[in-house]
Each structure stands twice: as structure tokens, then as C-alpha cells.
Amino acid sequence: MGDRDTAAVLVAGGTGERFGRSSGKQLALLAGRPVVAYSLDACTGVARVGLVVVVCHPDRVSEYAEALGTGLSGVEVLFVAGGPRRQDSVAAGLAKVPDAFEYVAVHDGARPLAGPALFNAALDALDDEPRLTGVVVGHPSVDTLKTVHDALVTSTPDRSRFWAVQTPQVFRSDALRVAYAKAVAGGREGTDDASLVEAAGGTVGVVEGPRDNIKVTLAEDLAVAEALLAARGEGGT
């Protein structure tokens, strides 16, 4: 494979309404650094990544570029405006990825604890199985799951069949582009990128990732993430 065969789309365009702070969650400080800085470090730390497209809220592109645009590792980083939905933001980032990149990795800007090794594991799994269109990271569900309607339990599915899925998610770039084109044509909205690839006929594999690959959604999640960084001996200065 080529040395730089992968582009990363880093999705940081959400408004962070549940976070409870007007400035949002991606630029909130985690151990002295913006949350999204850790996600960007993970992307630029992958040897195969030659481009990172950071997708921001349209009103905050320059703010993100100023906060994150220095001290990078030599990988090209672009800052672009996202759309009203996560799906629109990924599409905006994907549009900036040249066709020369064989793979695209999509990662959440608010998921700061995923390191380069997790990206590499997903990319290796995709390399190793030609039948796969993409690979997601996640872990088997440890909780009992219920289907619920009108606050009443309607069934208890077999927990062993369910995984909690996270990011990064990696795809063959041509297949991801086709999936997004079909989603637009069909008016389809997916809860993640893999669901759009699946709907377009792709085959998606999974690799098990660490359970501490949490997403910062609420303000109190920062304390959890900071404790996990401290346990790893990491953090900002």
C-alpha cells in the first residue's frame, strides 16, 4: 500500500446543545487542550494519513483553524464548513478529499481518546479482507437491551448479537462516495457512515476497540475523559 493512502474526515461541526455551553464541546478544554485537538492528533499520528479535513460549524471555521492550525505534524490539514446534520458535514469533508486517496477514515471530533493504533487496526482489517467495504470499531454490548414503545418494554433481544459502535470508521473511498451519492438521491439519513454504506450494498466489518473510547457529549464527560487521560499518563500542558 502507499505510504499516505488515507484521508481523514474529522467531524467537529455539531452545536453541542446537550453539552450545555455556548462554545460547544469540541473546543472545551480537556487537560488544558481543546477536546478536538486530541482527535486531530490521533488522525495526524497515523502514518498512512496524508490529509485531515476538519469539518466545523460554518460560523467557527476561522476559530477552529486558529485554535488547531499550529504545531501540526506535517500532515496537510484543511478546515471547512459543515452542514446542518452530521451527514451533511461528512459529505462536505468528503468533497475535499482528492480521488487519489484509497481510503477515508471518519472520526468524531468529540471522541478524544481514540489513538492512532485504533485507526491502524481498522485499516489493517480492511486491507486483510478484500470483500469488506468498510470497518468500524466498537465493542460487544455488556448491557441487557430492551425495545420500548410508549414506556413499555416490548421485547428483550439477544444481547450477544449487538455491538456498541464508535469511531473511527474506515472505508474504501470510492464506496463511501457512492454511498453518500445514493443517500442524497434516495433521501436516506443514517445514524453513522457505515449505515449508509450498508444501505448502498457494502459489507462492513468490525474490530473491537477499547471501552474507554468515549464521546464527550455532556459537560460531566470531561471529568471522565480527563481521568482516563491521567490513567494513561497523558494530557495537555
Scored b (16 or more CB within 10 A) or e, 82-107 reads: beeebbbbbbbbbeebeeebbbbbbb
pTM of the model: 0.92
Alpha helices in 17-78 (DSSP H): 35-44, 61-68
What 8-state DSSP symbol labels residue 118?
Answer: H
71: confidence class by pLDDT, cuts 50, 70, 90: low
Give the total number of structural domains in the chain: 1
Strands (E), the chain: 6-12, 29-30, 33-34, 49-56, 76-81, 103-108, 134-140, 147-149, 152-155, 163-172, 204-208
Domain presence at residue 1: no
Q: Which domain holds residue 76?
A: 6-232
Q: What is the pLDDT of residues 175-222, one digit of tens each?
A: 999 999 999 999 999 999 999 999 999 999 999 999 999 999 888 999
Burial degree of 149 (CB within 10 A; 0-12, 13-18, 19+): exposed
Domain presence at residue 237: no
Domain presence at residue 205: yes
Domain presence at residue 162: yes
Domain presence at residue 78: yes
Q: Quick one: cell of 51?
A: 490529509
Domain presence at residue 142: yes
CATH of the domain at 130: 3.90.550.10
Domain presence at residue 76: yes
Domain presence at residue 59: yes
Q: What is the pLDDT of residues 109-127, one digit of tens each?
A: 999 999 999 999 999 999 9
